[in-house]
Amino acid sequence: MVRIDIDDRSGFCTGVVKAIDKAEDFLSSHDNLYSLGDIVHNGSEIERLEGLGMKTIGREDLKHLSNVDVLFRAHGEPPSTYALAKANNIRLIDATCPVVSSLQRRVRKEYEAHKDDGTQLVIFGKAGHAEVIGLNGQAENSAIVIEHLEDADKLDYTRPVVLYSQTTKSLDEFRALVDHIKSTLQPGLAFEYHDTICRQVANRLPHLRRFAALYDVVLFVSGAKSSNGKALFDACHQVNERTYFVTAIDEVQPHMLADAATIGICGATSTPLWLMQAVKKQAESLLSAQ
């Protein structure tokens, strides 16, 4: 008998759970709701919500809409999007994660405090990511975005630095960047750094490494677009070569399960529990047909 376990710490973070709850709650009494950007980076979950009446739109679409209901997802939005929504008489369902809202307020305060004193405001984050756009919007897009340590040469090491991080970046990379700035900055200059990485994501990496090592085979369930999913999959694959990336149940193939006595199912912060449960059922039915 093959044992199949679902990791009880995989799945949506609380920010995404709350955003989906808000969308479902609204759609229980309304026919339509627009979501500005993917509410979660998981195609199957988006399909489910679209079945309830949600429609995903981009920033360009928002310019041409008025008098409709629009949800702002957990990643948050810059002030310019709120201004546009107001101008177009859009009714907002603001599902920005409270952790992100609080970080936006801190970045805004920092910007106000330093905008005229030559201090460089730095965001360690993925350029173009919605959360980073929302954060940089607090600083009138004047912050320097550093995605990887290699980009650190964008900084002027003869001027003070204040550093914040996107909530979903890697802790190890953040610490490496801090060390690099400390050792490169001209002596005597101020350097303040704020570890604003959300532990709901950061703690998953070591947990998943331990989880993946416990099983003969690991089915890692995630949407193809999720950058968090790719990073967590890589971490599982490093400790267990028989880790497979699965985006839908029909991707589970008999050869993946061959000779396994134990199978672990886990996923990203954007993976719904119902999808991991469906993958488990699919694995069980393939095994019983062998």
Closest CA to 212 of 202, 200, 221: 221
- For residue 226, is it left (φ>0), alpha (ψ between -120 and 50) or beta? beta
State yes or no: is 140 an active-site residue: no
Task: Determine the 3-state secondary structure of 161 from DSSP.
Answer: strand
Task: Determine the 3-state secondary structure of 168 from DSSP.
Answer: coil
The residue from 165, 168, 222, 282 that contacts ligand SF4 (CB under 6 A) is 168
Which region among 64-72, 179-187, 194-202, 231-239 touches ligand SF4 (by CB under 6 A)?
194-202
The residue from 11, 15, 134, 264 that contacts ligand SF4 (CB under 6 A) is 15
13 is a site residue for ligand SF4 (CB under 6 A): yes
Which region among 93-101, 113-121, 153-161, 255-263 touches ligand SF4 (by CB under 6 A)?
93-101
95 is a site residue for ligand SF4 (CB under 6 A): no
Quickly tell me which residue has 């070591």 as its tokens.
206
Angstrom CA distances, 104 to 119, 125, 215, stand at: 18, 14, 40
CA atoms of 38 and 24, how far apart (whole Å) = 15
Quickly tell me which residue has 């405090």 as its tokens.
113
Which region among 11-19, 43-51, 142-150, 178-186 touches ligand SF4 (by CB under 6 A)?
11-19
100 is a site residue for ligand SF4 (CB under 6 A): yes
14 is a site residue for ligand SF4 (CB under 6 A): yes
Quickly tell me which residue has 């199978």 as its tokens.
263
- Which residue's CB is nearer to ligand SF4, number 74 or number 217? 74
The residue from 198, 218, 256, 279 that contacts ligand SF4 (CB under 6 A) is 198
Which region among 7-15, 55-63, 150-158, 239-247 touches ligand SF4 (by CB under 6 A)?
7-15
Please answer whether residues 10 and 276 qualify as being in contact, where contact means their C-beta atoms are separated by less than 8 angstroms: yes
Read off the tokens for 234.
């890589």
Burial of residue 153, with CB atoms counted within 10 A of its CB: 0-12 exposed, 13-18 middle, 19 or more buried: exposed
Q: Which of residues 204-233 bind ligand SF4 (CB under 6 A)?
A: none
99 is a site residue for ligand SF4 (CB under 6 A): yes
The residue from 62, 74, 133, 217 that contacts ligand SF4 (CB under 6 A) is 74
Kindly list the strands in the beta sheet with 69-72, ordered across the sheet, starting from the edge strand earlier in the chain.
54-57, 33-36, 69-72, 91-94
CA atoms of 117 and 71, how far apart (whole Å) = 37
- Which residue's CB is nearer to ligand SF4, number 99 or number 181? 99
> How far from chain centre, in Å, is Cα 256?
28
**Candidates 131, 150, 192, 241; catalytic one:** 131
Q: How far is the CB of 134 from ligand SF4 (least distance, A)?
A: 11
Catalytic residue numbers read: 131
Residues that bind ligand SF4 (CB under 6 A): 13-16, 74, 97, 99-100, 167-168, 198, 200-201, 269
